[in-house]
Chain A
Amino acid sequence: MIQIRQKFVQRSDPLIVLAPILAILLALVLGGILLLLLGRDPILAYRAMWDGAIGNPFENTTSLANTFTRAIPLMLVATGICVAFRGGVINIGSEGQLFVGALAVVALSAQVGDSLPALVYVPLSLVVGFAGGAIWGAIPGFLRARFSVNEILCTIMMNQIAIQLLNIMLSGPLRDPSANVTQSAMLPEGVWLGRMLPPTRLHTGIFVALIATVVTWLLLWRTPIGYRIRAVGQNREASRYAGISVPVYIILALTLSGGLAGLGGAVELTGVSRRMVSGFAAGYGFSGIVVAIFGRLHPLGAIPSALLFSAMVTGAERMQRTVQVHYETIIAIQGIVVLFAVSSSMWVQRRAAKRLAIDVSMSRSDENPGSGAGDVRPAEA
């Protein structure tokens, strides 16, 4: 009853929709002021960004295709982060999970060669990529559940370990012997994901990403397993009293979360670069966090959110070429968006709770923690 009412109140509050959009606009304005202070023309910079991200789709679809291509791993990573958040754990380790997922696919193809038909090979590579990321997510999950190791710190450390693991593999066992730079050999063609709009690199991995987000949504909101993950995320004590094995679902949430990031690594590898290079997919992990928060920690919200942030990053590369502003500026802007988003979500929620309190004149126990973005925080870190 209260749940339904709260939902109603939240939906009827225009701020829910407006707050994130305002956050982006404010961040862009701040970025523009910064550019102005540095003696660059912000209008020119943002126009370059627009051209790089979207351009004129009726004449040339290249920019738009680039944006969509980049959105694929972001969508998967962000969906994974949603699962962890809903389970009450924060996964900052997507970057490492993505690397290990991709690395697992490279290792698979090094073992199998091109002896498999694409119909088997591609799904197998997706499973292997998922498994690789899942293992990398399960480790901090286990440490969290068994030894109450802070999962934020643990996943950050796992990122650094994965980066070094990648370097070890690229300079040793998986290195392409014929190349001068550290990279793996080209993957066999059987494992490649098809390209849909050559010469752009938009690949069929986009369907993998879309299906994964929908499946994750169904899993979380339409199955008992998903219900338990969310229950543990909302209130560990209550879940324990209800007979849910809290440690199991904490591990499961981080495992699924890592698996989705690993899947992102697999499709990025087999769809875009088709070989492991150093600096592969760098930055997707942290951007994925921003995407997930901006998508209000909902798998379906990750789809538009991933497209938006992918557009920003893709556009930033063009901006770097035209106005010589380093594209990492966009990282700062993403950071500002995060700060605005987490601040405003709390504010909107309190507002909603206040309205609810007036509405049904219930006691303050209705301030249901964990009903909005950025607040699915476990009580204990």
Chain B
Amino acid sequence: MDERTLLDVLVAASALTMASAMPFLYSALGEVFSQLSGVFNLGVEGIMLMGAFVSIYFASDMGLDAGLLVGVLAGIVTGALLGLVMAFVSVTMHADQGISGIGITLVGRGLSTTLFILLADGVLLVESFQPIRIPLLSDLPVLGEILFNQNIMVYGALLLVPLTAWLLRRTTWGLQIRAVGQNPAAADAMGVDVVRVRYSAVILGGAMAGLAGASMPLALTNVFQVNMTAGLGFIAVAMVYFGGWSPWRVMVGSLLFSAAYNLQIWVQVLDVKLFGETIPVNILLMMPYVLAIIVLVFARDMQRFRPQAMNRPFRRGD
């Protein structure tokens, strides 16, 4: 392989890594809202699956044929509704958050599969979002192709990072979210409606998980498959720990895990060998999860940023 083509392949692999960081970004940024408000939403995985199915069902001509934008919107609404369920169970009913999340995941998994088979006979294809070249910027060498020749949902995910950081740091609502996650009793005493703030954060987190789900069939793979997220939602939750609840660090984590998910491609491109042999595919598929555990071990310093009231239902007078 001569120099020129190797560079091209590297750029293509980087662009793909960039694009497949998108579902992580949407879901993990949503989870940042939820966890900062004090709700550990483990239902992301199921919400993403439902978002993925509903969005492609609305968008595909094999489903309702309502267009891509309606599909995205449907995914967001579905996610928000499941977020509402999570908020009701964990905030109003004071249920254990980890287990409620597993419940939501089971619902999303079972319902998306059932509906997929019943409504679409198990096949859904869609003409997905096409890349949009950004004038001038996309002509930059290397970076132009990686960053500025992506589809609109990738741009959206990247723009959400500064937007999330601004919302959380500079708006009253963002401060309220962080307050009810750190010390709900004090926030309550200051007149912040803890329940309402938590509901809003968890519903927004759900909507973003739905959007993350929608991004998979509509902007990445153009099909729906049973259980297509395959644990990606759980990784997104782990990434929030890794990122220490900061949107910028969550973005770094997303890129890292996206690279780990595309390890197969990278190993092929860079022609990596282990003891002179090709590395078995299953070992490569294992790596994102091994990485997640390692990252959780090393990110324990981040625990100091942990919302102190996470996992604790708020009851006035406790």
Shortest CB-to-CB span from A153 to chain B, Å, is 5
How many residues in A have their beta carbons less than 8 Å from beta carbons of B? 56
Cβ–Cβ contact B98 & A90, under 8 A: yes
The total of interchain contacts (Cβ-Cβ below 8 angstroms) comes to 163
CB-CB nearest in chain B for A347: B93
Residues of B within 8 A of A325 (CB): 114, 118
Shortest CB-to-CB span from A31 to chain B, Å, is 9
Residues of B within 8 A of A149 (CB): 293, 296-297, 300
Residues of A within 8 A of B149 (CB): none
The reply on A357 being an interface residue by CB < 8 A is: no
The reply on B64 being an interface residue by CB < 8 A is: no
Cβ–Cβ contact B231 & A160, under 8 A: yes
**Knowing A157-B234, A333-B110, A335-B103 touch, does A342 contact B311 (C-beta < 8 A)?**
no
The reply on B310 being an interface residue by CB < 8 A is: yes
Residues of A within 8 A of B89 (CB): 339, 342-343
The reply on A172 being an interface residue by CB < 8 A is: yes
Of the listed stretches B20-28, B179-187, B246-254, B277-285, name the one at the interface; the rest are far from the partner chain. B277-285
Residues of B within 8 A of A171 (CB): 280, 282
Residues of B within 8 A of A314 (CB): none
B 282-301 binary contact with A (CB < 8 Å = 1; else 0)? 11011011101100110010
The reply on A338 being an interface residue by CB < 8 A is: yes
CA distance A374 to B313 in the complex (A): 13
CA distance A293 to B103 in the complex (A): 11
Which listed residue (A38, A335, A377) contacts B107, Cβ 8 A?
A335
CA distance A377 to B101 in the complex (A): 14
Interface members, chain A 256-294 (any B CB < 8 Å): 286, 289-290, 293
Of the listed stretches A72-80, A161-169, A212-220, name the one at the interface; the rest are far from the partner chain. A161-169
Cβ–Cβ contact A154 & B296, under 8 A: yes
The reply on A145 being an interface residue by CB < 8 A is: no
Shortest CB-to-CB span from B302 to chain A, Å, is 11
CB-CB nearest in chain B for A329: B114
The reply on B175 being an interface residue by CB < 8 A is: no
CA distance A112 to B68 in the complex (A): 58
Cβ–Cβ contact A160 & B289, under 8 A: yes
**Knowing A326-B113, A332-B106, A381-B311 touch, does A38 contact B234 (C-beta < 8 A)?**
no
Which interface residue of B46, B117, B235, B293 has the most chain A CB atoms within 10 A?
Answer: B293
Shortest CB-to-CB span from A323 to chain B, Å, is 10
CA distance A334 to B235 in the complex (A): 23
Interface members, chain B 260-292 (any A CB < 8 Å): 280, 282-283, 285-286, 288-290, 292
Cβ–Cβ contact A377 & B106, under 8 A: no
Which listed residue (B85, B103, B114) contacts A342, Cβ 8 A?
B103
Cβ–Cβ contact B96 & A377, under 8 A: yes
Cβ–Cβ contact A161 & B290, under 8 A: yes
Shortest CB-to-CB span from B133 to chain A, Å, is 37
The reply on A92 being an interface residue by CB < 8 A is: yes
CA distance A160 to B310 in the complex (A): 26
A 362-381 binary contact with B (CB < 8 Å = 1; else 0)? 00100000000011010101
Cβ–Cβ contact A92 & B110, under 8 A: no
CB-CB nearest in chain A for B103: A338
Cβ–Cβ contact B102 & A92, under 8 A: yes
Shortest CB-to-CB span from A143 to chain B, Å, is 6
**Knowing A332-B114, A374-B96 touch, does A153 contact B107 (C-beta < 8 A)?**
no
Which listed residue (A148, A154, A335, A347) contacts B303, Cβ 8 A?
A148
Cβ–Cβ contact B234 & A153, under 8 A: yes
Cβ–Cβ contact B110 & A153, under 8 A: no
Residues of B within 8 A of A22 (CB): none
Shortest CB-to-CB span from A90 to chain B, Å, is 5
CB-CB nearest in chain A for B226: A328
Cβ–Cβ contact A167 & B311, under 8 A: no
The reply on A235 being an interface residue by CB < 8 A is: no
CB-CB nearest in chain A for B96: A374
The reply on A239 being an interface residue by CB < 8 A is: no
Cβ–Cβ contact B296 & A331, under 8 A: no
Residues of A within 8 A of B96 (CB): 342, 346, 374-375, 377
The reply on B223 being an interface residue by CB < 8 A is: no
Cβ–Cβ contact B237 & A153, under 8 A: yes
Residues of B within 8 A of A200 (CB): none
The reply on B123 being an interface residue by CB < 8 A is: no
CB-CB nearest in chain A for B317: A364
Cβ–Cβ contact A343 & B297, under 8 A: no
Shortest CB-to-CB span from B81 to chain A, Å, is 14
A 313-339 binary contact with B (CB < 8 Å = 1; else 0)? 000000000000110111111111111
A 31-44 binary contact with B (CB < 8 Å = 1; else 0)? 00010001010000
The reply on A118 being an interface residue by CB < 8 A is: no
Shortest CB-to-CB span from B10 to chain A, Å, is 26
26 contacts between A and B (CB under 8 A): A38-B115, A92-B98, A143-B293, A153-B292, A154-B293, A157-B290, A164-B285, A164-B286, A167-B285, A168-B283, A290-B106, A325-B114, A329-B110, A331-B106, A331-B113, A332-B111, A333-B110, A334-B106, A335-B105, A336-B107, A338-B106, A342-B96, A342-B99, A346-B93, A350-B94, A377-B311
A contact residues vs B (CB 8 Å cutoff): 34, 38, 40, 90, 92, 143, 147-150, 152-154, 156-161, 164-165, 167-168, 171-172, 286, 289-290, 293, 325-326, 328-339, 342-347, 350, 364, 374-375, 377, 379, 381
15 further contact pairs, Cβ within 8 A, besides A335-B110, A342-B99, A381-B98: A40-B118, A143-B296, A147-B296, A161-B289, A161-B290, A171-B282, A289-B99, A325-B118, A326-B118, A328-B113, A338-B106, A342-B93, A343-B93, A346-B94, A346-B313
Query: Which 6 residue pairs are nearest across A and B when measured between Cβ atoms?
Result: A332-B110, A335-B106, A331-B110, A338-B103, A335-B107, A343-B93
